[in-house]
Amino acid sequence: MRKVEIIGYGYYVPSETVEFDGQIRHRIPEGSSETQLSMAVTAAKNALSKAAIDINEIDCIVATSAVGIQPIPCNAALIHEQIAKGTSIPAMDINTTCTSFIAAVDAISYLIDAGRYNKVLIVASEKASLGLNPKQKESYELFGDGAAALILSKCEDGSAGVIYGKQNTWSEGAHDTEIRGGLTNYLPKYYVEGTEEYFFDMNGLKVLRLAGKKLPKFFEDFQKESGYTVNDIDMIIPHQASKALSMIMSRLGIPKDKYIDIVPEYGNMVSVAIPHAFMWAIDHGKIKKGDTVLLIGTAAGLTASAVLLKY
Amino acid sequence: MRKVEIIGYGYYVPSETVEFDGQIRHRIPEGSSETQLSMAVTAAKNALSKAAIDINEIDCIVATSAVGIQPIPCNAALIHEQIAKGTSIPAMDINTTCTSFIAAVDAISYLIDAGRYNKVLIVASEKASLGLNPKQKESYELFGDGAAALILSKCEDGSAGVIYGKQNTWSEGAHDTEIRGGLTNYLPKYYVEGTEEYFFDMNGLKVLRLAGKKLPKFFEDFQKESGYTVNDIDMIIPHQASKALSMIMSRLGIPKDKYIDIVPEYGNMVSVAIPHAFMWAIDHGKIKKGDTVLLIGTAAGLTASAVLLKY
């Protein structure tokens, strides 16, 4: 076990909502001054406040959004400017799209365990509503905006930590979930009114099929390799990928009371969905100190990531 | 020392060049089918071939470009699709802009040393020429295109490794080097002919001033913390940031024969500059097995990163 503990967390979800068939999505309304960056800053400040520490105690800022704020510099540097200007705290981005937060907790736990850093602030933030295509009903009605931040710290007494982490990527799904335009593949200058190249483009059925094919083996391997079965895990935080969540969970043999499903209330908040659902579960008494918690999800790639924590 | 060794490397630089006052820049000409992705693929294949291993022996693909190919998915997943389709090798991006390659070698060395991965392919690729603003003479004449890839492997006998790594970010420089447009900050749909928001924007003088103020202390701290002085280091690979490289090196007390300066031949290849100069130095006999090598540079952020290797 890599000895790390969560000493603070915070999130931000816009209060404004839209509704589709009774499913609530929190989205920043057009014309609001809230941005991907401002939400990240609020979440980060909430996490620092919960941990009751000052930014100067942070040794590294890691941003884990799927989508960037600007092509240059990285998101973490822009967040740094808002909360850590005047310090020399290193800033870096880690990206595996929707599961970036898992990838960061997993990777950073090695650095903390080895003594490189003591306290790391991990921040995800997404303004998904900006990229939605009204012509794609499924994704248009699925996504939500928000941000979540967590402070991972060395756990001196070894009572908490990362038990096991795993990632796989199957790139036959690389184009099932994508935004093609905006960077070097399709430059902004090729934008013409009505083009869909700059919108989020998801083939939900193909993603579901590929995930359905790959996830059971991934989860089986995870249990074998980690030595933890579903029975040994107190709570599972799946990526809030879609309304098909319960179907996927049942396919993985995970009983209803063992996982968090807040898709009806929040939808898919991209890279924020996993940390937000995790924090929601803690705040709602579904996870307590000492519990064994599994964060697991799929991401554009197609990537599957999972990290097992002793909270 | 984190026991890792470089078992293969490869790069790709377009053969087409432009010249400014005798300074050569390699750039993909307009209309060519070469892309940021195709260059990454060539570099990765060259690295695999040099290591004489098959992609199936790779445990993780890490992309370290400053700029993305698409907003979603991450660069590593798109590279995976070209060289690793059909495998389940995990793919992730690590980004600190120009020093992303250092950040990745530094972070991944912890994962390899701890036994998480055995062989990791790290790939940087940049088509900088796409983002240059003809109205900004300094940056317009500075940048070049290319890609570089390296395979980091567990070093069983402990003869090679990462001795020390360090990063600092000073976000008072966050806007001295940036591309503002293309993602959530300025969406592609706001593109209008003649706008400069989607171009690379560098205030070279401000960057130089801030780097000049911060780097000497960073380098002094690095030497103290690592226990290695300039005299103990065989070769230094600085980021090929600009024509002011020799000025910066002399300010850091690094003698002319101790560092690589190929700015006149290649310019600044963004995140590719450091790994490319490193590989260039090996190929030109400036670095041999067992040498102590320092990779060091600044990046948009402003970030400074350094990693000391026993090659």
Looking at beta carbons, which residues of chain B come within 8 Å of A81? Answer: 171-172, 174
For the question of whether the overall pTM of this predicted structure is more than 0.95, the answer is yes
pLDDT digits (tens, 9 = 90+) for A113-172: 999 999 999 999 999 999 999 999 999 999 999 999 999 999 999 999 999 999 999 999
Say what the pLDDT of residue B193 is. Answer: 85
For position B58, what pLDDT does the model report?
98
Q: Where are the domains of chain A?
A: 4-159, 162-310
Contacts of B305 in chain A (CB under 8 A): 90
Which of B58, B80, B87, B92 would best serve as a mutation to test chain A binding (most A beta carbons within 10 A)? B92
Q: Inspect the interface and report whether the beta carbons of B96 and A94 lie closer than 8 Å.
A: no
When CB atoms are compared, the residue of B86, B110, B301 closest to A111 is: B110
Is A36 close to B110, i.e. CB distance below 8 A?
Answer: no
CB A25 within 8 Å of CB A141: yes
In the numeric block, the tokens 């990765």 are attached to B44
A194: pLDDT confidence band, cut at 50, 70 and 90?
Answer: confident
CB B307 within 8 A of CB B237: no
Helical H segments across chain B, by residue range = 36-51, 75-83, 100-113, 137-140, 204-226, 245-251, 263-266, 273-283
Q: Answer yes or no: is pLDDT of A1 > 90.
A: yes
Interface touch B69/A179, C-beta < 8 Å:
no
At a CB cut-off of 8 Å and minimum separation 6, what does A75 contact?
Answer: A37, A40, A63, A65, A68, A69, A93, A123, A125
ipTM over 0.90: yes
Average pLDDT, 10 consecutive residues per value, chain B (311 residues): 98 98 97 97 98 98 98 98 98 98 98 98 97 95 98 96 98 97 93 90 94 96 98 98 94 96 98 98 98 97 97 97
Tens-digit pLDDT profile for residues A220-239: 999 999 999 999 999 999 99
Contacts A185 to B, Cβ<8 Å = 35-37, 69-70
The amino acid at residue B124 is A
Which residue type, as a one-letter code, is found at position B197?
A: E
Is it the case that residue A304 has pLDDT exceeding 90? Answer: yes
- Please give the CATH topology (third level) of the domain spanning A162-310: Peroxisomal Thiolase; Chain A, domain 1 (3.40.47)
Q: How far apart, in whole angstroms, are the C-alpha atoms of residue A140 and residue A159?
A: 43
User: Looking at chain A, how many residues does it have?
Assistant: 311
pLDDT of residue A193: 85
Chain A residue whose CA is closest to B115:
A110
Contact A68 B68 (CB under 8 A): yes
State the pLDDT confidence band at A9, using cuts at 50, 70 and 90: very high
State how far the Cα of A276 lies from the Cα of A263, in Å rounded to an integer: 11
In the chain, the amino acid numbered A74 is C
Out of A74, A114, A189, whose CB is closest to B96? A74
Q: Which CATH class is domain A4-159?
A: alpha beta
**Does A162-310 match A4-159 at the fold level?**
yes
Name the CATH superfamily for B4-158: Thiolase/Chalcone synthase (3.40.47.10)
- Closest residue by Cα to residue B105 from B262, B296, B301, B303: B296
Are A291 and A311 in contact, with CB atoms under 8 Å apart? yes
**In the prediction, which pLDDT does A32 show?**
96
